[in-house]
Structure formats: structure tokens, C-alpha cells
Amino acid sequence: MEKLEQLYEGKAKKVFKTDDPEVLMVDYKDDATAFNGEKKGTIQSKGIINNRVTNHLMKMLEDQGIPTHLIKEISDRETLVKKVTIVPLEVIIRNVAAGSFSKRYGVEEGKELLAPTLEFSLKNDDLGDPLINSYHVLALGLATQEEIDTIAKYAFKVNEILKKYLLDLGIKLIDFKLEFGKTSDGTIVLADEISPDTCRFWDKDTNEKLDKDRFRRDMGGVENAYEEIMKRLMGETV
């Protein structure tokens, strides 16, 4: 498979065309941003860790019945994925109050929620990814009711699978963000990434943060946290 011209450069990844029109190549960077791009930095080897952790988790989810865009990892930072049209929603699932949820609703960070929650944000950096509900999604034509239902069903199923898998590795899944895409035949598949950039992971026993909050909140030990996640999930270090 040949890597052709760059299609797009995002905050954490570059996306390239390949010689197959249905296949794209993703290239993970070490660049880190937070607060809608206001805070910028680098997390050494993050691209390698996020590429490998994402693919590891996507493979596991695919085996358990969640369709994903993953085709094949081809190097430390590069992966072939199905070409999809991204549904412009950030799909956030939460098990424990943290971050913007804690702030918005005045709930102490760390409080276990009585049921997992799902929220949508509109994927639009210029608007700061505003919260949006399913009526808005329909009104704006961003997805059909059937697509919204499929996305919610997959997102909650991903949560159940990941929560259990991670807990066995001593990691509490606090919350995470998913993105979904539509293939050329209209099938909804899980896309983007699942990594310490997009999930909150806390150590089961100490509640130590093992995710991007260490970068967002200047806590130090950022690289070590990403490494620790890869070690626990894959038994490997960079």
C-alpha cells in the first residue's frame, strides 16, 4: 500500500491518502494540545503509544462485535483505516464525575455516577465543541435518528467492554470520548482513537491519573503515565 498526499493534519494525527480510494493512512504525532488548542506541548513517544494502544483496544472491541475503521497497523506510528465520513459529534461516556461534567453540574470529581451517561458535543473548534442534544443533531441534519441510536448503542457497549477489561488491569475508566464514521455504504463504525489523550484512566487503588489530565493540569509525569498505560495493556514499553 502506497502512502500518497496528505489529506488533513489534525492536532494529534495526520491523515494521508493511499493508492486504494477506500483506505487512508493515519500517522500519530507527539504534539499535545488542550483547552481547544490554547495549551500546546509535546509528549515524548505519545504518537507511538496512542497508535498501538488504540489499535490494541479497537481489535479487542471488533472481536466483541463493535465495527471499527481499523484495517492494519503498519508501523510504530502508522495505521491503515477505512475511509469514512466522520459524524461531526464527540460522543462522551462517563462513569465517574470529572472535568467539564464536574464543573457544569457542581459534582465533586471522583463521584461515582448512578448510571453511565452519554453526551454529544458538536465537533467544531471555532465554537469550542459546544454540548448538543439529539434533537439538535436531527434539526441540523448531522445524523438520522437511526444513526444516533446505533451510535449510542455502540458507545454504551464499548463502555461495558472497556470498563471490565481495564479494571482487570488495575485501571478505572472514568470517562472517554469516541468518534464514529460512515463508510461508503453507510455503515456506522467506530473511528478516531481510544488512548490516554481521549480517556480518563485512574489507577484502581491509588486514583493516580494515568492520562492527558497530567498534561492539561501541569501535574508532571506525563510520559510515565502514557508508558504505564501501554505497559499494563500490552506488557510493552516504547
Contact footprint for ligand UDP (CB under 6 A): 90, 92, 98-101, 129, 175-177, 198-200, 212
CB of 22 to ligand UDP, least distance (A): 27
Strands (E), the chain: 3-9, 13-18, 23-28, 31-34, 39-42, 70-73, 78-82, 85-86, 89-96, 112-122, 131-132, 171-182, 188-191, 199-203
Closest CB to ligand UDP among residues 100, 150: 100
For ligand UDP, the nearest residue by Cβ is 99
Write out the three cell numbers for 63: 472481536
Phi, psi for residue 217 in degrees, rounded to 5: -105, 15
| Angle at alpha carbon of residue 60, lines to 231 and 87, rounded to 5° | 110
**80 three-state secondary structure:** strand
CB of 147 to ligand UDP, least distance (A): 21
Closest CB to ligand UDP among residues 5, 126: 126
CB of 184 to ligand UDP, least distance (A): 26
Closest CB to ligand UDP among residues 9, 22: 9
CB of 129 to ligand UDP, least distance (A): 5
C-alpha to C-alpha distance for 89 and 73, rounded to whole angstroms? 25
Closest CB to ligand UDP among residues 18, 134: 134
